[in-house]
Amino acid sequence: MKISRRGFGASVAAALSTPGLAAAAPRRSSRRLIKPPRLRRGDLVGLIAPGGYADDRLIEKAVRNIEALGLRAKVGTYIRAVHGNYAGSVQQRLADLHAMFLDPEVKMIWPIRGGSGCISLLSTLDYGLIRRHPKILLGYSDITALHLAIHNKTGLVTFHGPVASSTLADYPREHMMAVLCDPQPRYTIPMAPENALKAQTMPHFGIRTLTSGTATGPLLGGNLSIVAALCGTPYAADFRNALLFLEEVDEAPYRLDRWMTQLDLSFGFANAAGVMVGICEDCAPQEGRRSLSLDETFDQHLKPLTVPAVTGYSIGHIRHQFTLPVGLRATLDTAARTVTLLEPAVS
């Protein structure tokens, strides 16, 4: 289900437009990273719905995915709850998330989908509990809110990658399991060849290098509307000196422009180590409407940069996506079209 994020990107541009305000914002915490224990065959995976609601079809698919990976599934108590378009009330969704962190047998927490609603959990999450019981948390889209808040408040490395109900083709499965199960001092992720093939008929799948070079820094980012919505909160992604990665789905270019402007006013793209934009599905202008193209929208923000900047990387609401450890140091190489993790993401 495609859910518009119109409500999540309420701009704070007017409040941030004072010259020099971005430079005066507090620096990202130097909190020591906490790496969760690696995933092993036979481990128990906690299946939860912290955002959008899940039906039986999605739950069955997610359980099949978990078992096909040689893992076992524990389904959250409230995973079938429904509250509007959310998977139960805030209290029910929090209860499942906290219970999975607290359960000593659960080694990984895997949201079944994104949707919307994770942002409502942030002010009442028990960050002390999470810090005391570090575990793998994997997902993308609306799960971005959990990634950024948990990174800011605990230093735990979490993982931007497939949700439990994703269709796991070879490419996402290979890189997901390598990052989660096999700690290596360095691990290089190439772009998905399947996306390059799609680019022959769907240009937005193509990789464009706007500013070439290499850049190194901690990985921060996720879904563009959520990253923008967290600006001005204690959970914001302070991407100065970081590798910022962004993706979006089913949003008009003018909204992408608004959110990109909000991020630039907040911390400044020029202050990032580098910027990676993923493959933004269904974000082209509606036919017959006056609009910038998707490429023009990103170009006006990224082309002026002197730091490496690319679009079309294998991140986003796509089948062939790779897994990025949030907070981990990595190097972007625009010539090789790779992202290299510079240390193990799990212990």
The DSSP result for 160-218, as a single string, is ES--TTS---HHHHHHHHHHHH---S-EEEEPPHHHHHHTTT-GGGS-EEEE-SEEEEE
Cα angle 273, 278, 280; round to 5: 140
* Known catalytic membership, residue 317: yes
Identify the active-site residue in 116, 141, 166, 225: 141
Contact 239, 220 (CB under 8 A): yes
- For residue 256, what are its two tokens? 């992408």
Tokens 């036919």 belong to residue: 287
Identify the active-site residue in 160, 175, 301, 317: 317
| Neighbouring residues of 239: CB distance < 8 A, sequence distance ≥ 6 | 220, 221, 263, 267, 271, 272
**Cα gap 112→283, rounded to integer Å:** 24
Identify the active-site residue in 165, 225, 247, 266: 247
Contact 112, 59 (CB under 8 A): yes
* Known catalytic membership, residue 266: no
Catalytic sites, residue numbers: 141, 247, 317
